[in-house]
Structure 1
């Protein structure tokens, strides 16, 4: 593999100010050569709205490097990164062999197994449960509190664990394992993955013995009915993805959005005056301060011209959705939070915070509902809510905008 120079995903300045840093790259060019998450492997950064949508919607860009034709050298920084973190082939497979890494028919097969649990109708049926969880958490908050452990994390992890079937006694462990992974602390990384895998295997075995009304039971029954539909490894990685993605991103949306509204009181007042704006506001908050800044790395299956650049077969691309969501070509005054903002014609929900194309976020409807309920309940319950610290403490990790703490007083 060759190395290259250029903007690096690990640049501390880019991590500290992703909107400013990636915004500058976006205005330089729609597609730029840079360095991937391992610190050495070349990567194309795709930064503008139209080009990001093109990458996410074009089947010539694949998630699994094995989908690239035989004989083509693949710039796979992910494998290098897994080695840097001390992961053997089995542990690395739990992170690189998921539904998020599947293409074509394999991706469709896996998605169908769980998509029924995330339909708009099923999500709507969960609303009373989400509202009850939010109310209970708010009842427990003291005068001064940290939003992240006190509210932002407990709400979505309770909802997704209920849905998947993770017992209540094990949810604190999942929170710790998740934090170890998303904080990218190398000393904790292998142990967290091993612990999660062992936990999921035990959960699957328990559901084989005693079925329940949850997603794990559904996966077990699907495998028993037709063994070709789902392997044991796929079952483990499916639970990984559902629990981790099902609470981490939503928790950080709640945290980021709360801070954004408290620092934009005019926008918060619009929501107080007209609560019907909340669904629109959640989309705008996802655009303005969404937690995921870049998608999973994709690989060109063949030579593709994009944004005036030729991306050769096997080369890696990173769709920088944090930059695309503030592209002035797509949004008037993009760096301004506007809870009344409506989607631009032809751009669906008005942002790419939940992705686009075949890998559009499976749990988007649930995340939107949880965000709306959590934020509205928080500000309704505490009309005098205020920041208890002038400067936020952000986690210094690439590709994520996530608060370490958010001290508040009510």
Structure 2
């Protein structure tokens, strides 16, 4: 979900501008890790979770991990392929390439589209490369997400995340516990010259995922056990409409600016916090570290976070996402190298480097960074976390929710009509699967 920072890098790559080396010699160049004359090459398509990260410290950290990785595997080099910032489009392209046999050997696959890749049969099994103890340490929703119908694992889900409510406590002293509290707090900040609460509302997967916590907090379900959409039926429809109206009410009351209908970028929230134009936003746990590096110490001290509010204080949920590493190669040696990359770079070391929450329970004790009060609070919030359903129709449900949200937040269509349209489109998509 951390996709916004890819945009400027993608523009550079599109223009064919050479990226500078980040290590002396040719160990890591613009798109290659390892010696130029290595006889074997592993192609790896990645997000900015790697040596091309925009944060120099993170890029250097990944550079070290990748150099150590190739040093442990003589005769290999890694060719880095960068994704653009449009993750939905990138993942759709990756799936089509995999179906036609033109995918990279190894790639980052977003957890929310992993069911589509599994259903298509394009992933190679990682079962030989991870032992039972390692798999058993995965959180249940993680383990379920990477396991195929044959009981084998087909990816390694290395990091998870969650959504929280950030606030400037110098403006909003108490953490809002309910939807009504949130509206009241946001309106109070507006009276102090701020925009009110910010959240993703544009055509962006984050729009769906961030908002879904409100529906889940009510006990709503998107699909049934067969993966069929049910969010527009019976009690689920009533809960869905209520959760959509919560966001609609924020905009119509002025508690949220109308521009949220166009926001599809978590970096917008960091920028607003830095500019002092907002005191409240829905964001990801990773943004705490970003705020720390963006704001001066005095301003950062005013920012904190809390669990997402619910319709009542007792009804809470949050979305849990994250990235996986998977292999598409028919070459067993390359499949093993991809699994090694997941194990040696991402399973633990990368979690600690970027403070991205591990998916293995035992790693929280292994790395001191996860013993901080903030990370303990994030881990506690995971107890009410919910992953997107492992149903092939989910991406289309998400697409329709994004379209629906645009209609609702701009006031161009009544909530119930927009919800019914989204449900019909999602149901039609399910029938085509």
TM-score of the aligned structures, taking structure 1 as reference length: 0.29
Higher relative contact order at CA 8 Å, sep ≥6: structure 1 or structure 2? 1
TM-score of the aligned structures, taking structure 2 as reference length: 0.28
